[in-house]
Structure 1
Amino acid sequence: MDGDELIERALSTDFEGWDFSVLSGRLTEGDPDWDYETSAAEAVATAEAVLDMGTGGGEFLARLLPAPGRVTATESYPPNVPVARRRLEPLGVEVVATDADRDDVLPFEDARFDLVLNRHESFDAREVARILRPGGVFLTQQVGGGDLSELNAALGGPANPYGDWNLDAAAGLVAEAGLTVTTRREAFPPGRFTDVGAVVLYLRMAPWQIDGWDPAAHRDRLSALHDRMTADGGLAVRHHRFLVVARKPD
């Protein structure tokens, strides 16, 4: 399949939520030396009141259910909210729409949750501390600012605007909010885009990766990248992930 066909197919591919399965086999990612899903499942199994921040379409949270306690999820990207509700409400989860520009305001009373999960969602550490019960746990895996920097370079785009977001920055904010950090891990697992269509589809799903990116206006860059990927067998990249676990003092 030539580059133009790959690009056009990627531009017309339907997807919903944060279901990256449409990229299965076309964007690979090595595993960090921790398992967030297992840690989250173990925590949910003993929690009385759980919040999943930034649930997307509810794909990840649904894998952790059923749960013995009350489960709530937030989502700030409007197209994802009905997707999450269709998936999660039949499982007993309340899905709350939030404002993407106001992560410093969570619409919950103080000390409501004993577990707050956050997988790849922005957060205000002070708000997380406020809604946690004494003894409650905050478990988050974040995408670091160095994620897929090779992709930005290959397309001649600006660097990721969140380049300073890393383990030290996040753990520092969590500690400043009064939580005790118990676990901190960071990894840069290798990955690969197999074709230029996968690149276009990924940038449609995560447009914040390259600020101002427009596939129509930069078609020449995509064509050049297609030629490079054909010659090299894809585009090698590095993912950037980090894990923070923290506890609110009793």
Structure 2
Amino acid sequence: MDNGLYKRFYDKIGRLNGWDFSKLKVITEGAAWDFYAEVVSRCKPSDLLLDIGTGGGEKLLQIADAALLAVGIDHSEPMVETAKTNRERLGKRHVRFMRMDAGRLEFPAFFFDVVCARHCGFHAGEAARVLTRDGVFLTQQVSEGDKRNIKQAFGRGQYDAAEPGTLLKQNEAALREAGFADIQSFVYDAAVYYESVEDLMFLLTHTPIVPGFGDNPNDLDILRAFVEQNQTERGIRTNEERFMIIARK
């Protein structure tokens, strides 16, 4: 998906849904960590926390009480508006949401104690600049092998042209170049079971896993065949492949 098309897609999802998939009925087996639990474990009550690519703010609002101030940024105005609505509904007065480009953070140097970015692009140099000298940066990203059988069924998919491990290596290299010296990386490939075809359709409609899902007249037929082939007692089986990097300057 090219950048312009992805931006329009992302803005549309921001208006419709935020980035909230909590209503999906799904079982995950083999996930090695919970990303935002990892973020919380590195926050102190006096810390300032930045969430890059916050989407509708759903995850940040869940963990905001771990920090003195939590700030979420996103490049999409509809996402930020959804995040602000969610904040008002929950009454989280120590949380701020702003429209901002991750490549040009409008904060002073050494401002945040913890910076995180989940399933979104980030600029390693900017993350390093706004972190305190003993601050920590955490990111979780979707790996090339995510939803492997779905992408094979449709003959197209997110990152399908990249060699396994490429994205992790690129992220590690960018962080080293930005001055991070202590870099740890982790990978998991978990089994995932979606309860119904409706859950799976929601996922494919609201993410770029299969670019342009529904635009091809054969997509629904492909989906039906996929469900028949991958239906189990636990649900419709696919996989979730993720990597996480934790870095300090």
Give TM-score scaled by structure 1 length.
Answer: 0.79
Residues 87 and 233 (structure 1), Cα distance of their counterparts in 2 relative to 1, 3 Å cut = closer
**Paired residue for 2:150?**
151
Kept in 2, the 8 Å contact 1:155–1:221? The answer is: yes
After superposition, residues 81-230 of structure 1 pair within 5 angstroms as 81-88=80-87, 90-91=91-92, 92-99=94-101, 103-158=102-157, 160-161=159-160, 163-164=162-163, 165-206=166-207, 208-215=208-215, 217=217, 218-229=219-230
Kept in 1, the 8 Å contact 2:182–2:247? The answer is: yes
Give the Å deviation of 1:54: 1.4
Kept in 2, the 8 Å contact 1:56–1:81? The answer is: yes
Q: Equivalents in 1 of 2:51, 2:234: separation in Å? A: 38
Gap regions ≥5 residues in structure 1: 1-13
Gap regions ≥5 residues in structure 2: 1-14
Q: Deviations over 1:83-110 (max 9, x none)?
A: 21122363121101124xxx42222232
Q: Deviations over 1:29-54 (max 9, x none)?
A: 22432332322112223453211111
Q: Deviations over 1:164-209 (max 9, x none)?
A: 5543332222112111234211111111234432222101110x21
Kept in 2, the 8 Å contact 1:50–1:113? The answer is: yes
Name the amino acid aligned to 1:49: L
Q: Deviations over 1:110-169 (max 9, x none)?
A: 222121022222111111112112111101222212211211112232453574554333
Worse overlay, 39-48 or 174-183: 39-48
Q: Equivalents in 1 of 2:239, 2:65: separation in Å? A: 34
Q: Equivalents in 2 of 1:214, 1:173: separation in Å? A: 35
Residues 42 and 223 (structure 1), Cα distance of their counterparts in 2 relative to 1, 3 Å cut = closer
Worse overlay, 120-129 or 156-165: 156-165
Residues 172 and 247 (structure 1), Cα distance of their counterparts in 2 relative to 1, 3 Å cut = same
**Paired residue for 1:42?**
41
Kept in 1, the 8 Å contact 2:124–2:175? The answer is: yes
Give the Å deviation of 1:15: 5.8
Name the amino acid aligned to 1:61: L
**Paired residue for 1:7?**
none
Kept in 2, the 8 Å contact 1:44–1:64? The answer is: no
Give the Å deviation of 1:234: 5.0
Kept in 2, the 8 Å contact 1:195–1:229? The answer is: no
Q: Equivalents in 1 of 2:125, 2:47: separation in Å? A: 22
Kept in 1, the 8 Å contact 2:184–2:246? The answer is: yes
Residues 33 and 159 (structure 1), Cα distance of their counterparts in 2 relative to 1, 3 Å cut = closer
Give TM-score scaled by structure 2 length.
Answer: 0.80
Q: Equivalents in 2 of 1:48, 1:142: separation in Å? A: 24
Name the amino acid aligned to 2:178: A
Percent identical among aligned pairs is 28
Name the amino acid aligned to 1:214: G
SS at match of 2:85: helix
Q: Equivalents in 2 of 1:190, 1:37: separation in Å? A: 20
Residues 192 and 105 (structure 1), Cα distance of their counterparts in 2 relative to 1, 3 Å cut = same
Worse overlay, 159-168 or 144-153: 159-168
Kept in 1, the 8 Å contact 2:64–2:95? The answer is: no
Residues 200 and 17 (structure 1), Cα distance of their counterparts in 2 relative to 1, 3 Å cut = same
Give the Å deviation of 1:211: 2.5
